[in-house]
Structure 1
């Protein structure tokens, strides 16, 4: 632990809150340089196979291009002078190798080739991790939605009690969003993981006519998408990826918002099961810290998304200034979304659901949210307009009392003339006004399952 670190991603205090360990390793300096060295090793082997450089040179480069030959203090100091770390890294490997390494290392390459290809390599690892996390969340939501399909609760619109629903249907709503997020990830991954190899201005002039074959073999060896044409100045795939992360954040934030609100003391329908965050002065408090962090990370993700189009502010064959934003936007956006997914997974895995309170909270409105159910039944005899006015008048007249909706209806001669006491009780039972609840949950479950069955 280094108490001198500043960023929340590396802070000795805050890093555990803002990072997911596997994702942090992907974007570490050590892994970055390892990707550069892998690039140099792979391209040397391919060039040797095609007779562009001597076979012995490729072997020598492979022996020299190791992380053990990197002096990190020197690399940092020289990067500060040059502005990019590729030349200082190439210089160190050249010095560590024999004359063949000095002559043929980085043959026909330019800085952008290594920067963009290494970023694509790390994005591939990042998107694979995020995809696994999304799939795990989809599976958890599927299980929970099915298990709570009959857990009746108050549905709220504009923060007010509206009609009956079930916790299972609400979970199914989150499920369909996350399923669409998985589709978005799968669609953009080939565009986000496109490697770069084009030389100084992207036309492979330093390699000659075999340049396209070298590029094809290199991308295949690195497991990256093959580029199409000249794309040195194109960062649309990166901007799209960060924007997609923002949408995932939106889905997660909605879940966090709902759980936070449902956990308020007057409702107490759900509660974070990890103990929550204690107050420094109020012994009774257990703050919803998982929800809070998801909300915080979502705002960070939206901030990155608003900045991402700046990457496309390019001119000519390429411009370095906006590309440097990659060094902050891409790793931080990956860390934020992966950490939020991990938080959401733990939140759902440990969530405590109070079914009794969900049912009891209908009484907060004296069961008035069943008014539509009653009105629709009256409408079958009197028409919608007259039934609406009739039920509204009954409620208005009964508000001054402490009567529930059922008691108001039982006191109405107009209503009792149409329905028996048992029928009125049934009309006021939320379980009898759930519409296509089960069918909607089944649709969401089938949608998710179909997509999961087609995933590798």
Structure 2
């Protein structure tokens, strides 16, 4: 079993996806670093800093399969340097005439930070795809249950009636906003790092700025206005966005977790035959997907806090801040990838018990409709007075164990202002939904537009 759960043969499926793991494991990282070194050499050849033959040789040999990763690791430990082990092993397989041109004038952050920009771009592509999937699944629930009445709850207690479509539309709209945020931030984050020792590019003389442009072009990344060696806001923003994304998924998971409780029983996670909830209580059907979404989000939020700490950087380079990103950025990406995969499964297969929703609504004895009564009475005696009267009538009714209609008719202060027919109209669930169905329609229309909205 791996030391980190993402590498565990037994439990890795809970903490990452194969796609995300391949991107961020040692092989994926080293291959990406080699690609960056090759692109740097080619860009330097483009501006006349490196012989073209040397650049071609570096590109040809920039293949992780040609290297002994154990030797790279040994050289890294022996030198105490983040990239020198890789450079030495690459030099060993290069033709002699190309060896001196590897990593020409660059520093470790030129490679590692450019890798970070590439990772953020690739992860953003995955997130966009999976967020779109989750949004579409939530939107399908919203449309299907546009008019499905259920009990709305505030502070965990029954409030007014809503529709399940309204609840799902809130999820879909929030997921859409994350897609917008993801797109809006790409230009800030997806930029190369190339500054040399302190970011001034002094090593490359008057070829510095042309080199910066060629390097960015070859990697299909943006060109920063100034190197960002000490400016870690882009990474903090990205990990913060991952925390927000997983926060939304955790909110959805927590809703399902609560609504699946047998006492409520309004929704259920998809169930796979053979899935076991408890080894001691065979009857249990646990909300495994939902609760794991909450777990993953907690860790990503902690990672985001560390990423923000990295913004506090000293002078022109500070390994204390920068190297912490090597832990939290990959971890946050891995966990977010897993969270989105689980959320898509949850939303795709969510079972909605509409009958139970109606039963739970009816079981409240009409008391969830106290606000429409107060609203009607407010036109006769004023809002605050109406609140006091209805408040006292509902308390009295609940203490007597009668339904709201009986409680209202028994209160002379209400009966003298509202007729039985008027009270009956106030207790119409459909009328009490307000514009909840219309809001579903608005979200559906907005989500059917482009992300520029």
**TM-score of Structure 1 vs Structure 2, range by shorter chain:** over 0.9
1:292-324 residue CA offsets vs partner (Å, 9 max, x unmatched): 110000100111011112222322221223221
**One of 180, 184, 188 as aligned partner of 1:187:** 184
1:322-356 residue CA offsets vs partner (Å, 9 max, x unmatched): 22112211100111112111111111111100111
Instruction: Give the distance between the partners of 2:343 and 2:139, measured in 1 at CA.
Output: 14
SS of structure 1 residue aligned to 2:270: coil
CA contact (8 A) 1:108 1:199 kept: yes
Instruction: Give the distance between the partners of 1:63 and 1:362, measured in 2 at CA.
Output: 68
Instruction: Give the distance between the partners of 1:251 and 1:381, measured in 2 at CA.
Output: 43
Instruction: Give the distance between the partners of 1:108 and 1:172, measured in 2 at CA.
Output: 53
RMSD: 2.1
Match of 1:78 in 2: 75
CA contact (8 A) 1:138 1:178 kept: yes
CA contact (8 A) 1:18 1:336 kept: yes
**One of 54, 58, 63 as aligned partner of 2:55:** 58
Q: CA deviation at 1:108?
A: 2.0
Match of 1:317 in 2: 316
Q: 1:433 to 1:87 in 2, by over 3 A?
A: same
CA contact (8 A) 1:179 1:451 kept: no
Q: CA deviation at 1:96?
A: 0.7
1:2-35 residue CA offsets vs partner (Å, 9 max, x unmatched): x3x1211111221100112211111111111111
**One of 240, 243, 247 as aligned partner of 1:246:** 243
Match of 2:365 in 1: 366
SS of structure 2 residue aligned to 1:209: helix
Q: 1:404 to 1:204 in 2, by over 3 A?
A: same
CA contact (8 A) 2:75 2:86 kept: no
Q: CA deviation at 1:407?
A: 3.2
Q: How many residue pairs were aligned?
A: 451
The answer to whether residue 281 in structure 2 is matched with residue 282 in structure 1 is yes
**One of 125, 128, 132 as aligned partner of 1:128:** 125
Structure 1, unpaired ranges of 5+: none
Query: Which stretch shows the higher mean deviation, 246-255 or 209-218?
Result: 246-255
Query: Which stretch shows the higher mean deviation, 64-73 or 274-283?
Result: 274-283
Q: 1:166 to 1:211 in 2, by over 3 A?
A: same
CA contact (8 A) 2:128 2:182 kept: yes
SS of structure 2 residue aligned to 1:183: helix
Structure 2, unpaired ranges of 5+: none
Match of 1:378 in 2: 377
Q: 1:70 to 1:84 in 2, by over 3 A?
A: same
Match of 1:326 in 2: 325
Q: CA deviation at 1:440?
A: 1.9
Instruction: Give the distance between the partners of 2:384 and 2:230, measured in 1 at CA.
Output: 63
Q: 1:388 to 1:120 in 2, by over 3 A?
A: closer
1:379-400 residue CA offsets vs partner (Å, 9 max, x unmatched): 3334334433443343333334
**One of 238, 257, 260 as aligned partner of 1:260:** 257
Query: Which stretch shows the higher mean deviation, 412-421 or 187-196?
Result: 412-421
Match of 1:33 in 2: 30
Match of 2:114 in 1: 117
1:94-116 residue CA offsets vs partner (Å, 9 max, x unmatched): 11111112122222222221111
1:261-313 residue CA offsets vs partner (Å, 9 max, x unmatched): 11111110101113465111111111100111100001001110111122223
Q: CA deviation at 1:257?
A: 1.3
SS of structure 2 residue aligned to 1:161: strand
CA contact (8 A) 2:249 2:293 kept: yes
**One of 227, 230, 242 as aligned partner of 2:227:** 230
Match of 2:150 in 1: 153
Q: 1:415 to 1:313 in 2, by over 3 A?
A: closer
CA contact (8 A) 1:277 1:289 kept: no
1:241-275 residue CA offsets vs partner (Å, 9 max, x unmatched): 11111111221111111111111111101011134
SS of structure 2 residue aligned to 1:210: helix
Normalised by the size of structure 1, how large is the TM-score?
Answer: 0.93
Instruction: Give the distance between the partners of 1:64 and 1:298, measured in 2 at CA.
Output: 40
The answer to whether residue 93 in structure 2 is matched with residue 96 in structure 1 is yes
SS of structure 1 residue aligned to 2:221: coil
CA contact (8 A) 2:193 2:227 kept: no
Match of 1:215 in 2: 212
Instruction: Give the distance between the partners of 2:307 and 2:269, measured in 1 at CA.
Output: 34
Normalised by the size of structure 2, how large is the TM-score?
Answer: 0.94
User: Post-superposition, which runs of at least 4 consecutive aligned residues in structure 1 deviate over 4 A?
Assistant: 410-423
Instruction: Give the distance between the partners of 1:148 and 1:214, measured in 2 at CA.
Output: 56
Match of 2:407 in 1: 408
